[in-house]
Amino acid sequence: MKFDDKKAVFVLSRGKVLEGNLQHIYQELIKQLEGAKIHFVYTENKMDLKLFSEASVISNARYLIIDDYYLPVYLIQPDRRLKVIQLWHAAGAFKKFGYSTLGTRFGPKDTYLQLIPVHSNYTHVYVSSKNVVPLYAEAFNMSESKIFPLGIPRVELFNNKVQIKKITKKIYEEYPNINDQNCINVLIAPTYRALGIQKESGYRIVDTIARFSKDLNKNVQILFKAHPYMPDNEIDILKKLTNVIIIGKYPLNEWMLVSDAFITDYSSSIFDFSLLKRPFAHFVPDLEEYKKNRGLYYDIEVISDGTLIMDEEELIRWINFREKNEFLDTSGMIHFNFENIENVSKKIVSHFINS
C-alpha cells in the first residue's frame, strides 16, 4: 500500500463519538493540512482479527492520533515516516498509569510487557504542563524530549463564550429542570476502578449515592456522569432515584458548564474543573486501598485545592451546604497543571505537522 502523506487516522477508544481532545485536533487539522484524508478507527483493544484491519488502516498513514492505550501501535514496527501523536485523555498527573504502576496490583506484569511493550512508538506526546513531563516520561517509558507541554485541547472550550452559550442552551433545552435557578446541580463523575486480578478497590460510589439521595436538600439534584467503562448494572441502580439525572450524552467538560459543584475521586477531570473556579471535592473512602493497589503521583492534599472527604455523612453535609455562584480559589492548581489554555489545538497541530 502506497504511503500517503496526507492521511491521518484518528482512533476512538472510549466511545463511538468524536469529542474532547480528538475533536478539537480534528477540526484544526483539516484547517492546517490542505487535502487531509481523515480516517476513523473504532477500537476495542482486543486480541482478535480486527487488529489486522486496524493495522492495515494505519500502515500507510502519515499521522496516527490517539488519546488512550492503543494496542496495535505497540505490536507493529511503524514506518519511520509515521507520526504517532498521543493526546492522553487526562490533564495533569493524578493517579498512576502505565509503567508508573509497575510492582502494584494494578500494573502490568513483566511477562506481558515482554510480549506487548505498551506505550511504545509514540513520536509526539502532548501534556498540560512542563511540571508533569517527567511523570509522563516515566509512565510511557520514553524520553522527555518527545513530550511537549503545549496544553490540553478540550479546555479551550472554557475560554470560548460563543461555544459556552451554545452548549448551555442545548443542555437547558434538553434538560429544562437543570436551568432552575433555585436548584443546585452537583456533578458526580467517578473514575473507573479495575476489578479482577488488577483490582484497585472494591468500593462502588453508586451504592453510596443510592443511600444518601434521600438525605439531600430538596433543591439539590445530582448529575451523574458514568465512566465509559462502568457496567450498566451499576448505572441502573441510580435510574430509580428522582433527584439523580444520568447524563450519558455530551462530554464531561460540557456538563461542567452547567454544574454548581463537582465531586469525583481520583479522576484528573478535577484539573479541568479547576479552571471554572467553582467548589469541588474528592470523595475517597477507599484512599489507602487505592494507593496501595495502584498509587497516586501526589497526595490529594498537595495536588488539589478541593475538599478531601472520607466519610459519607461529611459528603452529605458538603453537598447540602452548596449554593449558586460560589467561588473557589484554584489558582495554585491552575498554575501547576496548565502551561497554556488558549489556541492549544492550533499550536499542537502546527507543531506535529512541522516537526
- Taking the C-alpha atoms of residue 92 and residue 234, their distance in angstroms, rounded to an integer, is 28
CATH 3.40.50.11820 fits 4-152+340-354, yes or no: yes
Confidence (pLDDT) at 55: 83
**By the 8 A CB rule, do 22 and 52 touch?**
no
- Taking the C-alpha atoms of residue 133 and residue 164, their distance in angstroms, rounded to an integer, is 30
CA atoms within 13 A on the CB side of 268: 20
Average pLDDT, the chain: 93
Confidence (pLDDT) at 16: 85
- DSSP H stretches of helix in the chain: 20-32, 50-58, 71-75, 110-115, 133-140, 161-174, 205-212, 232-236, 252-256, 269-274, 287-293, 300-303, 312-320, 331-337, 344-354
In the chain, what percentage of residues exceed pLDDT 70? 97
Q: Which are the contacts of 183, defined by CB distance < 8 A and separation ≥ 6?
A: 177, 219, 220, 221
Confidence (pLDDT) at 48: 64
Report whether pLDDT(81) > 90: yes
- Taking the C-alpha atoms of residue 4 and residue 335, their distance in angstroms, rounded to an integer, is 40
3 state SS of 279: coil
Which three cell numbers mark 333?
492548581
The CATH 3.40.50.12580 domain(s) of the chain lie at 160-337
Tell which residue, 350, 346, 355, 18, has the closest CA to residue 160.
346
pLDDT digits (tens, 9 = 90+) for 289-309: 999 999 999 999 999 999 999
Prediction pTM value: 0.93
CATH topology for 160-337 is Rossmann fold (3.40.50)
pLDDT digits (tens, 9 = 90+) for 332-347: 999 999 989 999 999 9
pLDDT digits (tens, 9 = 90+) for 189-203: 999 876 667 777 888
The CATH 3.40.50.11820 domain(s) of the chain lie at 4-152+340-354
